[in-house]
Amino acid sequence: MGNRIAKKKYNAAGAFLGADFYVRDAQGNNLALYEYKDIGSNMVSFTCNERNVYGSSRLGVYKNKNS
């Protein structure tokens, strides 16, 4: 459908910093944004940063305070 499902992030030197993942429903509406970070030493962080709020249409966005 042409909707973005992921976006990889790199620094100026080309090293991988992390990625954003977009969760969509069957019609392609964005439901949530998750952030993946490599925090070193074989550890990763996976955080939900945004959740879209829907009624009969999109009402707004709930953003994580720590993002």
The mean pLDDT values, 10 residues at a time, for the chain of 67 residues are 85 91 88 86 85 84 74
- pTM for the full predicted model: 0.74
Residue 1 lies in a domain: no
In this predicted structure, what is the pLDDT of residue 35? Answer: 92
Q: What total number of domains does the chain contain? A: 1
Residues facing residue 48 across a β-bridge: 34
- Got the DSSP string for 32-57? EEEEEEEEETTEEEEEEEEEEEESSS
Residue 11 lies in a domain: yes
In this predicted structure, what is the pLDDT of residue 38? Answer: 79
Angle at 25 between CA 7 and CA 27, to 5 degrees: 105
Tokens of 43: 């550890």
C-alpha 43/C-alpha 37 separation (Å) is: 9
Residue 67 lies in a domain: no
In this predicted structure, what is the pLDDT of residue 50? Answer: 87
Residue 39 belongs to what domain range? 6-62
Residue 56 lies in a domain: yes
